[in-house]
Chains A and B, each alone.
Chain A
Amino acid sequence: MVANYSANVKKLFPPCRVACPAHVNVQGYVSLIQKRKFKEAVEVIRRDMPFPAICGRVCFSPCEDACARVNLDQAVAIRALKRLVADIEREQGRVVAEPVPKKYSEKVAIIGAGPAGLTAAYELAKLGYPVTVFERMAKPGGMMHYCIPDFRLEKFVVANEIAYIKDIDVEIKTGVEFGKDITIESLKNDGYKAIFFAIGTQLGMKLNVPGEDLEGVINAVDFLRATAPGKKITVGERVAVIGGGNTAIDAARMAKKLGAKEVMILYRRSREEMPALPHEVELAEKDGIKFYFLAAPKQIIGENGRVKAVECLRMRLGEPDESGRRRPIPIAFSEHQYEVDMVIPALGQVVETSVLPPELINKEKRGPPIQVDPLTLETNIPGVFAGGDVATGPASIIKAVGAGKRAAVSIHRYLRGEDLRRDREEEKIEETTWVKDWRLLEKKERRYDAPIEKPHLSFEEAREYLERLKRQARFEAFRCLGCGPCAECLASMDLCEGDKAVVDESKCVGCNVCAVICPVGAIKKNEKGVAQVDEELCKGCGLCAARCPEKAISMKKLSNEQILTMVLTALER
């Protein structure tokens, strides 16, 4: 994906791939699932990002929101498909990746083994750089390991994905703290030519209300980190979680699972404005977690230094603010109390600025703590790049992966002395639009699939169940409309692999049959009255070649003559 940039070549991607910050080849792996090539599907995902199983579980799936199938019935269950193929691959035993030979000698240091750092390391290692990742904690994975609870993302899944990254020869050094054990100078002295900061946002945001220092108030990030395996934490009987994001839901469910009798989530807006995934909210409700909306904490009341209650103000919703959500406005004299013995604020995270080298820190009050170029992720120090949550504020795994990939391209170009800005792949991506106003939508009938409940099964039944699941997956994958041009999925290298229609202009009579037949509208008559194929759009189906009255259209890879030869050899047998 890197360095192969010829000027002005636009890239036509389907909406799902455009929406994905990491531009994962969704159509490609969905096509492979249609052919039941699950292992190859994982390979296709790994070409774009190293975490198929993790994203199959916890991604907020912007691809599904963009899916054009929504116009018909509902989006293709892309995330579920990804999870299934990744799980199948892991259960059957992951193929041990070959270490990539080191083509270049420039060493690259990456600070932080979270999704952004690991992705950058993965991409750079694939290019052939010796990469070292430095991690402060005992285990790599960052938030994926420490803050996403086990019931959403199993630790062995994270370990498995990181093992793959280690396989291709990325060195991960844990227990090394930046600022204490290493600095920019020490890294440069050790021969590292480029540094990528991906330390994320580690500190929980403060509530800024009186009583925050009482015993029993613990920030959601710290709380979740303390629940990681091997650690012990006692939860209160009645727990209030403040906030409406995924972290809040995770903390609330975790507290419930750890034995809290009653867990409530206090959120200052209403349910529609909650940033948490709707599915997660439903699960939390199933777990018996109570939601109190339009309640903002005013102060935390203590007794003998311990939390006794949270006092809240009732809110009402006003005009939408710049985030598009309606702004909560406090109602005067609406104070009310919830009796709790533990408060978990989950309002978001901020960068731990004390760790950062002072020259990187943004001097201005407003804006992110590190100023980076949004396109190239350069900082004000040459050779030092920063990306992921640390530069953009807390976001999601997939956005961090996107930043990691972006950084890898920049670092590669920086080390090769190329222009960092010219022809960035990110800028050339164009969405295919034909699927949106398309006759296809009338032709594809509505169809819903029945979800399969996962029951408790014996071994034999489980095998049958998996078989059914695979078939279900194939069925689900078939719902993909294939909005993009050729998905380069490797489904059948010999057959399609970018087969394209070619027009013999001397034979074309301009009858327009091909233009009518082409399912994607890739053929148009040009000013000479001759059919012209838009190679960018052509999917290589060959319908035009099969119907062209003058046989002026032929296929590059699988022409009629080749099919005939195949027939003859088949009949000779």
Chain B
Amino acid sequence: MRMESYNPPKIVCFMCNWAFCEEEMRVPYNVNIIRVICVGRMDPALVLETFINGADGVLLVGCKPPDCHFVDGNLHAERAVKMLKKLLALAGLEPERLKLLLTSPMEDKGFSHYAKEFSEEVWKLGDSPLGKEELLANLTAAKDAASAFRLRVLLGREEELTEFMNAYGEKIPEEEFDALLDDIVRAEFIRYKIHYLTRVKPHSVKELAEALGIKPSAVLRHITNMRRKGMIALDHVEGYTPLYKALEVR
């Protein structure tokens, strides 16, 4: 994630198998292309892991809506990117470092154009203002949140909930779903941040509230929730202060 500003940023590009042909590609050397079968195949957790491993920007390339080989893989990718951007913002990384590009076969511009454009955009963003340690903690928490059941099931069900109906015959408007997603992403991120912090050594609620920059009462609410799910447990009590330690999540 850290980079010297005179070096071009490291970009990883996950590209749909069908998006651009090899003939049409002349790519800057700082852009690494990884072909996947469909851009919707990208696991959100994998994208975050790419950031953790030192990418400065991630570009996802897929096909424009009517062209997806797998009907709506590109739309699934769009939803995932929406959620990932929220997670990145929470983690303190500019959401602009992640971009989804949907192209059509009749596109006049080749891939190199888009690659350069994105590379320059990321370059302008420069270094992340956060320290390395903190960024790693945040991104790991985001990754854990993205690989956990709650966000994934929400992501997988989004289309069903917003376009069709849920089990109770209700159709959720998109804005409502968005607000819901916002809340859940935030809650999940905080929980996994707590989990990350308490993994190293036991923390008290007060310490956690300080580290997270939120009210202790909110932290306590999350901890109650996490204890119920078996993510965290009481380690020991120092004086009158209980200290919590993370449990291994399955």
* B69 proximity list for chain A (CB < 8 A): 482, 539, 541
- Docked complex Cα distance between A566 and B13 (Å): 11
A553 CB to nearest chain B CB (Å): 11
Q: Is B40 in contact with A541, judged by CB distance below 8 angstroms?
A: yes
- Docked complex Cα distance between A459 and B71 (Å): 40
- Docked complex Cα distance between A192 and B54 (Å): 69
A484 CB to nearest chain B CB (Å): 12
Other-chain contact of B155, A444, A541, A547, A567 (Cβ < 8 Å): A547
Q: Is B153 in contact with A513, judged by CB distance below 8 angstroms?
A: yes
Q: Is A496 in contact with B17, judged by CB distance below 8 angstroms?
A: yes
- Docked complex Cα distance between A563 and B36 (Å): 8
* B37 proximity list for chain A (CB < 8 A): 495-496, 499, 540-542, 558
B156 CB to nearest chain A CB (Å): 3
Q: Is B152 in contact with A563, judged by CB distance below 8 angstroms?
A: no
- Residue B76 CB within 8 A of the other chain: yes
Other-chain contact of B156, A474, A492, A516 (Cβ < 8 Å): A516
Using A445-B66, A516-B160, A571-B32 as known contacts, say yes or no to A543 and B12 having CB atoms under 8 A apart: no
B14 CB to nearest chain A CB (Å): 8
- Docked complex Cα distance between A501 and B140 (Å): 27
A400 CB to nearest chain B CB (Å): 33
Using A34-B18, A475-B105 as known contacts, say yes or no to A543 and B70 having CB atoms under 8 A apart: yes
- Residue B21 CB within 8 A of the other chain: yes
- Residue B178 CB within 8 A of the other chain: no
Considering the complex, give the chain A residue whose CB is closest to the CB of B43: A546
- Docked complex Cα distance between A35 and B49 (Å): 29
B84 CB to nearest chain A CB (Å): 12
Using A482-B69, A541-B69, A545-B41 as known contacts, say yes or no to A567 and B50 having CB atoms under 8 A apart: yes
* B23 proximity list for chain A (CB < 8 A): 36
- Docked complex Cα distance between A514 and B152 (Å): 11
A436 CB to nearest chain B CB (Å): 14
Q: Is A563 in contact with B46, judged by CB distance below 8 angstroms?
A: yes
- Residue B106 CB within 8 A of the other chain: yes
Q: Is A443 in contact with B43, judged by CB distance below 8 angstroms?
A: no
* A443 proximity list for chain B (CB < 8 A): 65-66, 71-72
* A37 proximity list for chain B (CB < 8 A): 21
B97 CB to nearest chain A CB (Å): 14
- Residue A508 CB within 8 A of the other chain: no
Q: Is A546 in contact with B17, judged by CB distance below 8 angstroms?
A: no
A28 CB to nearest chain B CB (Å): 13
- Residue B42 CB within 8 A of the other chain: yes
Considering the complex, give the chain A residue whose CB is closest to the CB of B55: A571
Q: Is B159 in contact with A516, judged by CB distance below 8 angstroms?
A: yes
Q: Is A519 in contact with B71, judged by CB distance below 8 angstroms?
A: yes
Instruction: Provide the B13-51 mask, 1 if CB < 8 A to any CB of A, else 0.
Output: 010011001111000000010111110111111100110
* B65 proximity list for chain A (CB < 8 A): 443, 445
Instruction: Provide the A4-46 mask, 1 if CB < 8 A to any CB of B, else 0.
Output: 0000000000000000000000000000001111000000000
- Residue B53 CB within 8 A of the other chain: yes
Considering the complex, give the chain A residue whose CB is closest to the CB of B42: A546
Using A443-B72, A447-B66, A471-B105 as known contacts, say yes or no to A558 and B36 having CB atoms under 8 A apart: yes
- Docked complex Cα distance between A550 and B153 (Å): 9
- Docked complex Cα distance between A36 and B152 (Å): 36
Other-chain contact of A35, B21, B32, B38 (Cβ < 8 Å): B21
Q: Is B36 in contact with A547, judged by CB distance below 8 angstroms?
A: no
Q: Is B149 in contact with A539, judged by CB distance below 8 angstroms?
A: no
Q: Is A517 in contact with B105, judged by CB distance below 8 angstroms?
A: no
B149 CB to nearest chain A CB (Å): 4
- Residue A334 CB within 8 A of the other chain: no
Q: Is B70 in contact with A541, judged by CB distance below 8 angstroms?
A: yes
- Residue A209 CB within 8 A of the other chain: no
- Residue A62 CB within 8 A of the other chain: no
Other-chain contact of B105, A478, A511, A540, A551 (Cβ < 8 Å): A478
- Docked complex Cα distance between A171 and B76 (Å): 55
Q: Is B149 in contact with A549, judged by CB distance below 8 angstroms?
A: yes
- Residue B10 CB within 8 A of the other chain: yes
- Docked complex Cα distance between A2 and B63 (Å): 37
Q: Is A560 in contact with B73, judged by CB distance below 8 angstroms?
A: no
Considering the complex, give the chain B residue whose CB is closest to the CB of A513: B156
A61 CB to nearest chain B CB (Å): 22
Other-chain contact of A541, B38, B67, B159 (Cβ < 8 Å): B38
* B36 proximity list for chain A (CB < 8 A): 495, 542, 558, 563
* A447 proximity list for chain B (CB < 8 A): 66
- Docked complex Cα distance between A495 and B104 (Å): 21
Residues of chain B from 126 to 184 with CB closer than 8 A to chain A in the complex? 147, 149-150, 152-153, 155-157, 159-160
* B63 proximity list for chain A (CB < 8 A): 478
A559 CB to nearest chain B CB (Å): 10
* B18 proximity list for chain A (CB < 8 A): 34-35, 478
Q: Is B34 in contact with A444, judged by CB distance below 8 angstroms?
A: no
- Residue A573 CB within 8 A of the other chain: yes
- Docked complex Cα distance between A392 and B129 (Å): 78
- Residue A452 CB within 8 A of the other chain: no
Q: List 18 A–B pairs whose Cβ atoms lie within 8 Å, in order of A's numbering.
A: A36-B23, A444-B66, A445-B66, A482-B69, A499-B37, A516-B160, A519-B71, A539-B70, A542-B38, A543-B76, A548-B152, A550-B149, A560-B45, A564-B46, A570-B32, A570-B34, A571-B50, A571-B53
Closest 3 CB pairs of A and B: A513-B156, A570-B32, A542-B41
If A35-B22, A563-B14 are given as contacts, then 18 extra A-B residue pairs at C-beta distance below 8 Å, sorted by A number, are A36-B23, A471-B105, A475-B105, A478-B18, A482-B69, A499-B37, A513-B153, A541-B73, A543-B41, A549-B150, A549-B156, A563-B34, A566-B34, A567-B49, A567-B55, A571-B12, A571-B54, A571-B55
